[in-house]
């Protein structure tokens, strides 16, 4: 009997269904001839997890410890049929059960079916629902996931935009909407941030999902303190930059920037207001850019302060190779007009090649090769000037 049950479940998990709700009765009826078996030595959770769910022995040993109360296979059978009806493959089901063995104990009529019905009502396709249950099975076991999705979807713009942070471990669906998320979102809206910026902040600054509004107000004050007023284009980045720093640490970072780039108080204020992410950059990275831009490229501190975008670009793969090309073109009088270094480094790679490399194939046939060599960290002889 147990072997017959496993064969049926294996067949179900290898099949795909177009509609998890409409096909669920049919899927469950397939197993109807197999009556529920009483708790007995014939039913062992570890064996079930291996044979019916596809887990390894090690995974089954760990998973069975989380569901010691499971004595009958009838509910897990129904759950596996349900997952198959959603369109999950056998591998998907194994991964889901390994992640959350308690999912096998979820109530069909009380929880799973109402959740799918609610999410379908929000416009989610069965494929997206299957993706959601794979990423957040623990949340899917609670009907509150529907109201949370209903709130987050307009904020994130689409289910795909929401699935991305869930894939990368965001706790969005674990947060309490009423006590934390909604008040903080309201406050951020009052600061002039739109839905897209707020969604990014919730993803990249997880503390916003659980902190009290007072903490968010403190972040706002810090952002304004570094010269980025609410409502400005860089305000979201400023909030993100200060989110994990105390005022003392921010002050220490500002001092380091001043010393490293030889900036005055006014210049460091300009740089940080234009590129708040500098506060989160590593000291090693900042030091390397200072050594190149000031000592090698000969740029002045004031020039860099007004163009801090250069400080987030890679020295080896962008700043230095393009500096070599610019110097080569100037030395050989191939530049039709005097362009600033910032103009050359900020354009995309495609545009840089089109404007500064390809037009000189005849006059400098080795330029493309030399540029590629420089991007690999070596200095071609033609880029060495005395």
pLDDT digits (tens, 9 = 90+) for 16-74: 444 444 444 443 343 344 444 444 456 789 999 999 999 999 999 999 999 988 889 99
The whole-angstrom separation of Cα 19 and Cα 292 is 60
Residue from 45, 50, 60, 135 nearest 92 by CA: 135
Read off the pTM. Answer: 0.77
Residue from 57, 38, 51, 40 nearest 80 by CA: 51
pLDDT band per the 50, 70, 90 thresholds, residue 338: confident
**Among 17-31, 150-164, 207-221, 274-288, whose mean pLDDT is lowest?**
17-31
The radius of gyration computed from the CA coordinates of the chain, to the nearest angstrom, equals 29
DSSP state of 172: G
Give the tokens for residue 210.
């659980």
**Is it the case that residue 238 has pLDDT exceeding 90?**
yes
Query: What pLDDT was estimated at residue 41?
Result: 54
Query: What pLDDT was estimated at residue 383?
Result: 84
Mean pLDDT computed over 351-365: 93
Query: What pLDDT was estimated at residue 199?
Result: 96
Mean pLDDT computed over 145-153: 96
**Is it the case that residue 299 has pLDDT exceeding 90?**
yes
Model pLDDT for residues 98-134, shown as the tens digit of each residue: 999 999 999 999 999 999 999 999 999 999 999 999 9
Query: What pLDDT was estimated at residue 244?
Result: 82
Residue from 262, 332, 247 nearest 295 by CA: 262
Query: What pLDDT was estimated at residue 157?
Result: 95
Query: What pLDDT was estimated at residue 180?
Result: 92
Query: What pLDDT was estimated at residue 384?
Result: 79
Q: Pick the residue with more confidence: 267 or 231?
A: 267
Within 13 Å and on the Cβ side, how many CA atoms surround 386?
1
Query: What pLDDT was estimated at residue 42?
Result: 61
Sequence-separated (6 or more) residues with CB below 8 Å from residue 238:
223, 226, 228, 273, 276
Query: What pLDDT was estimated at residue 311?
Result: 95
Query: Taking the domains of the chain in order of start, what are their residue ranges?
Result: 2-174, 176-244, 245-312, 315-383
Query: What pLDDT was estimated at residue 130?
Result: 95
Query: What pLDDT was estimated at residue 16?
Result: 43
The whole-angstrom separation of Cα 260 and Cα 283 is 9
Rounded to an integer, what is the distance from CA 157 to the centroid of its chain?
15
**Is it the case that residue 169 has pLDDT exceeding 90?**
no
Query: What pLDDT was estimated at residue 4?
Result: 42
Q: Which of 85-89, 150-154, 377-381 has the highest mean pLDDT?
A: 150-154
The whole-angstrom separation of Cα 55 and Cα 43 is 16
Mean pLDDT computed over 318-326: 95
Query: What pLDDT was estimated at residue 345?
Result: 94
Average confidence score pLDDT of the chain: 88
């Amino acid at each position: 009997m147990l072997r017959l049950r496993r064969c049926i479940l294996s067949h179900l998990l290898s099949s795909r269904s177009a509609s998890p709700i409409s096909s669920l009765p049919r899927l469950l009826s397939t197993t109807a001839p197999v009556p529920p078996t009483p708790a007995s030595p014939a039913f062992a959770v570890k064996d079930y997890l291996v044979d019916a769910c596809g887990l390894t022995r090690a995974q089954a040993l760990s998973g069975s410890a989380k569901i010691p109360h499971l004595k009958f296979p009838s509910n897990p059978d129904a759950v596996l049929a349900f997952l198959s009806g959603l369109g999950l493959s056998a591998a998907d089901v194994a991964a889901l059960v390994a992640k959350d063995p308690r999912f096998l104990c979820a109530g069909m009529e009380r929880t799973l079916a109402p959740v799918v019905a609610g999410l379908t009502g929000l416009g989610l396709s069965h494929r997206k629902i299957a993706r959601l249950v794979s990423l957040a099975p623990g949340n899917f076991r609670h009907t509150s996931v529907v109201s949370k999705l209903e709130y987050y979807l307009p904020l994130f713009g689409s289910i795909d935009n929401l699935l991305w942070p869930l894939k990368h471990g965001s706790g969005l669906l674990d947060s309490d909407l009423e006590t934390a998320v909604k008040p903080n979102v309201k406050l951020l809206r009052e600061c002039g941030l739109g839905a897209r910026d707020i969604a990014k902040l919730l993803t990249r600054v997880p503390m916003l999902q659980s902190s009290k509004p007072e903490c968010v107000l403190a972040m706002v004050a810090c952002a304004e303190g570094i010269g980025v007023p609410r409502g400005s284009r860089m305000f979201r980045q400023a909030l993100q930059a200060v989110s994990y720093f105390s005022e003392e640490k921010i002050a220490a970072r500002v001092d380091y920037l001043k010393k490293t780039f030889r900036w005055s108080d006014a210049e460091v204020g300009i740089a940080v207001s234009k590129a708040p992410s500098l506060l989160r950059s590593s000291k090693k990275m900042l030091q390397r850019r200072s050594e190149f831009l000031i000592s090698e490229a000969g740029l002045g501190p004031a020039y860099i302060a007004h163009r801090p975008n250069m400080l987030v670009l890679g020295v080896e793969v962008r700043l230095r190779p393009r500096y070599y090309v610019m110097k080569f073109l100037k030395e050989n009088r191939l530049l039709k007009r005097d362009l600033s270094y910032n103009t050359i480094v900020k354009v995309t790679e495609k545009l840089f090649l089109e404007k500064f490399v390809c037009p000189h194939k005849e006059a400098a046939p080795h330029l493309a090769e030399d540029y590629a060599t420089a991007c690999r960290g070596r200095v071609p002889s033609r880029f060495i000037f005395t």
